[in-house]
Structures are given as C-alpha cells and as structure tokens.
C-alpha cells in the first residue's frame, strides 16, 4: 500500500447515482474502505447492481491486493458517512442550491483535515465553498464516466482552497490510478466539458437541421476524430495535419477558415421535436441492446483501449 493511500484509508461517497457509484467501484478496487450515503429508496441495491456490472472490468484491469467489495458500508445519515472519512467525494445532482446545502452538512461533520472533493461538472469551486466554515479543504475533483475506468480527473481550486489541499488531492487521486489534471483557472464547465459542450451543441444543431441522424453523427466521430483522440488531442492532431511544418502551416492554411460561420455558438432550443429525434435516434441505434449490455461492451472496449494508449503514451502530461 503506498504512502498516500495510507493517509486516505477511509473515503466517503455522498450521492450514489451514476458518478457516486463509479467512485465507489474505483475506491473499492484500489483497496480502500468506503462509506456511502444516499437518501433515495433502493440506493443500496442500485449500488450493488452497479458493482456487479463493473467488477469484471476491474478484475481484468487488476485489483489492488486488498480490494474487497465487502469494504463498502451504507449508512443512514450524512454525519455517519463523513465523520471519520479522510476524503469525501460529493456527487449529488448538479443543482447549486442542493450542492451547497449538502456541502454545508459535510463541512459540519467532517474532520478538519479531510479533503472534500466535488464531482460537479460545471459549478466553480469558489461558488461551492462560499458559505463553508472550512472552505480551504474543498476542491472540485471532476471525473468522467465510467469513473472506474477513465483515468482523467480535473482538479480545480477555488479562491479559498489551500494550495496544500491541491497537492494532497493530486497525490490521492493519482494513488487510485487516475491522471489528475490541475486546471489553472476556475471557469464554469472546467476544461474537458467546455470541449465536450462545443461538440455536443454542434451535434444537436446537425440533428435539428436534418443534416444527419444521431447515428450518423456518432459514426462521424467513432470512425474518424474519435479514433485519433484516444491517442492525441486536438492540438497535436492538427500539428500533424500541417505536414512537415506542422502547426505553423496548419494555421496558415486553415486559420482563415475559422472566420467562416461554419459552427453555431448558440445552443439550439431543446424543442419536443428535437428531443424526440435525439431520443428515438439513440433508441433505434441501440436497437434491442439494453443499457447494461452497452455498458459491458463499452467497458470491455475501454479497458483494451487504455492498455493500447498507455503502451504508446506511457507518460501523459496530466500525471506530471
Ligand atoms: N453523469 C456524468 O456523466 C457525470 C460526469 C462527471 C461528473 N458528473 C457530476 O456528478 C454529479 C452527480 O451526477 P450523476 O450523473 O451521478 O447524477 P445522478 O442523478 O445519477 O445521481 C445523483 C445521486 O444523488 C442522490 N442525492 C440526491 N440528493 C441527495 C442528498 N441530499 N444527499 C445525498 N445524495 C443525494 C440521488 O439520490 C442520486 O442517487 C453531478 O454534479 C454531475 O455534474 C456527472
């Protein structure tokens, strides 16, 4: 067991939906004790189902020596969940008022030196920590679904976050097999979701305008850019698109095209018609395959892909 795991023996997961359960699986697979709290009826059963679904992928990726699904305890109150945890991961729905009230409870009951990580996709940490008594220990730790396979976690400090907490959080998340990326400046949506949002907005326009079906948009990514992106991001990809002179030539050649009104910055109105198009598009694309079957397929693919990425790219900037 490494030193940082030793410092963080017990973690609490507050809110056990898609993301909370993803964290639970990752933490258990890394050999930690996990305490979970979610007031929704049937939450515990849903977590067990999520564990059943994900555990085979984790076995394939390699479990920590002391990993054990039985090291998870569900408790009936938030106080019991957080009172002796070394790190608390908050994953309640993306509503500022709800998050603030849950974080205020965590702040009341958590140990003073515990780290509070919020999974928020878009809210800035300075907003979340504003009313806390001990705001210096709050940091945004934004993961990606499925949390137990994808290594990226964006760490964002608010204006009251202690620099020491950023360093400790970075070591902790790295110790559970992740690639922490410290975001230099807080903004809504952090970094990766800013990029995803731009693509998502454009994808909705293409479907709304009848340019493509949801399946065709997916194909355009799966067989093209998506394959490249698993290895290189947009910058290095375009560096190669410029021939021998790399990005210099790329910008000379395609730079002026940026001024063409190709893409739409405003999101389309989510009308009932657009929603129906998107929903039926996805359901037809999935055909009779259930969500659970699709998740299994995705997990198996990602586990193999991650091995491939790491064999080509053993050191990523995120981990430095
Ligand atoms: N879904 C994603 O792909 C994704 C990715 C990264 C981050 N996130 C972020 O993670 C957070 C959770 O998202 P999700 O997709 O897991 O949502 P979700 O709706 O699947 O789960 C939220 C869970 O919080 C529980 N909850 C509600 N009120 C609570 C309370 N007072 N105390 C404790 N638990 C409570 C709900 O019962 C539910 O189980 C959000 O901030 C979201 O932005 C989501």
Q: Per residue in 277-301, pLDDT tens?
A: 999 999 999 999 999 999 999 999 9
**How many domains are there within the chain?**
2
Closest of 49, 105, 115 to residue 80, by C-alpha: 105
Residue nearest to atom 7 of ligand 1 (CA): 121
Annotated binding residue 207 = no
Per the annotation, does 18 bind a ligand? Answer: yes
**Residue 68 in domain:** yes
Inside any domain, residue 311: no
For residue 73, report the phi and psi dihedrals to the nearest 5 degrees. -125, 130
Ligand 1 pocket member 90 (CB < 6 A): no
Q: How far is CA 62 from CA 80, 133, 209, 306, 310, in A?
A: 31, 40, 46, 13, 15
Considering only CA atoms, which of 221, 219, 218, 213 is closest in space to residue 276?
213
> Is-contact 70 34, C-beta < 8 A?
no
In degrees rounded to 5, what are phi and psi of residue 142? -95, 115
CA distance linking residue 190 with residue 177, whole number of Å: 21
The CA R_g of the chain, rounded to the nearest whole Å, is 21
Any atom of ligand 1 within 6 Å of the Cβ of 77: no
20 known member of a binding site: yes
Tell whether 130 and 208 lie within a shared domain: no
Q: What domain range includes position 259?
A: 192-287
Does the beta carbon of 40 lie inside 6 Å of ligand 1?
yes
Q: How far apart are the first and last CA of the chain?
A: 21
Q: What is the chain's pLDDT, residue by residue, as a tens digit (320 residues)?
A: 455 556 788 999 999 999 999 999 999 999 999 999 999 999 999 999 999 999 999 999 999 999 999 999 999 999 999 999 999 999 999 999 999 999 999 999 999 999 999 999 999 999 999 999 999 999 999 999 999 999 999 999 999 999 999 999 999 999 999 999 999 999 999 999 999 999 999 999 999 999 999 999 999 999 999 999 999 999 999 899 889 888 999 899 988 888 887 888 899 999 999 999 999 999 999 999 999 999 999 999 999 999 999 898 776 555 44
Q: Which atom of ligand 1 is nearest to the CA of 121?
A: 43
User: How many angstroms is it from 100 CA to the middle of ligand 1?
Assistant: 14
Residue 187 lies in a domain: no
Asked if residue 125 lies in contact with residue 139, where contact means CB atoms within 8 angstroms, the answer is yes
Residues 226 and 269 in one domain: yes
Look at residue 292 and tell me if it is in a domain.
no
Cα–Cα–Cα angle for 199, 309, 151, nearest 5°?
70
Q: Within 13 Å of residue 37, how many CA atoms lie on the same side as its CB?
A: 19
pTM over 0.85: yes
How many A from CA of 120 to the centre of ligand 1?
A: 9
Tens-place pLDDT, residues 254-272: 888 888 878 888 999 999 9
Domain for residue 312, yes or no?
no
Q: Select from 117, 148, 182 the last residue of a domain.
A: 182
CA atoms within 13 A on the CB side of 194: 10
Q: Is the CB of 19 under 6 A from ligand 1?
A: yes
Q: Are residues 44 and 171 in the same domain?
A: yes
Residue 19 annotated as binding site: yes
pLDDT at 259: 86
Planar angle of CA 121, 266, 257, nearest 5 degrees:
105
Q: What is the DSSP letter of 13?
A: E
CATH number at residue 210: 1.10.1040.10
**Whether residue 113 is found in the same domain as residue 214:** no
Last residue within a domain, chosen from 123, 158, 182: 182
The whole-angstrom separation of Cα 273 and Cα 271 is 5
Quick check: CB of 120 below 6 Å from ligand 1? yes
Domain-located, residue 315 = no
């Amino acid at each position: 067991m490494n030193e940082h795991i030793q410092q963080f023996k017990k973690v609490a997961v507050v809110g056990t939906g898609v993301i909370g359960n993803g964290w639970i699986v990752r933490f258990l697979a890394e050999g930690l004790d996990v305490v979970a709290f979610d007031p929704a009826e049937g939450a515990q059963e849903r977590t067990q189902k999520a564990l059943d679904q994900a555990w085979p992928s984790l076995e394939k990726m390699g479990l920590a020596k002391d990993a054990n699904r039985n090291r998870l305890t569900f408790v009936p109150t938030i106080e019991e969940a957080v009172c002796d945890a070394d790190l608390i991961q908050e994953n309640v729905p993306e509503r500022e008022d709800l998050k603030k009230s849950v974080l205020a409870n965590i702040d009341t009951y958590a140990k003073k030196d515990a780290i509070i990580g919020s999974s928020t996709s878009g809210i800035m940490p300075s907003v979340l920590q504003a009313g806390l008594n001990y705001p210096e220990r709050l940091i945004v730790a934004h993961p990606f679904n499925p949390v137990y396979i994808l290594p990226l976690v964006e760490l964002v400090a608010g204006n009251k976050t202690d620099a020491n907490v950023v360093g400790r959080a970075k070591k902790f998340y790295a110790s559970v097999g992740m690639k922490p990326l410290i975001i230099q400046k807080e903004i809504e949506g952090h970094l990766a979701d800013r990029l995803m949002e731009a693509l998502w907005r454009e994808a909705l326009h293409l479907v709304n305008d009848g340019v493509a079906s949801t399946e065709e948009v997916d194909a355009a990514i799966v067989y093209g850019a998506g394959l490249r992106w698993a290895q290189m991001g947009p910058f290095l990809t375009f560096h190669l698109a410029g021939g021998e002179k790399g990005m210099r030539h790329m910008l000379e050649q395609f730079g002026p095209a940026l001024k063409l009104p190709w893409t739409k910055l405003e999101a389309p109105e989510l009308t009932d018609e657009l929603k129906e198009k998107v929903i039926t598009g996805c359901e037809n694309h999935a055909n009779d395959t259930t969500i659970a079957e699709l998740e299994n397929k995705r997990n198996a693919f990602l586990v193999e892909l991650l091995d491939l990425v790491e064999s080509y790219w053993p050191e990523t900037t995120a981990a430095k």
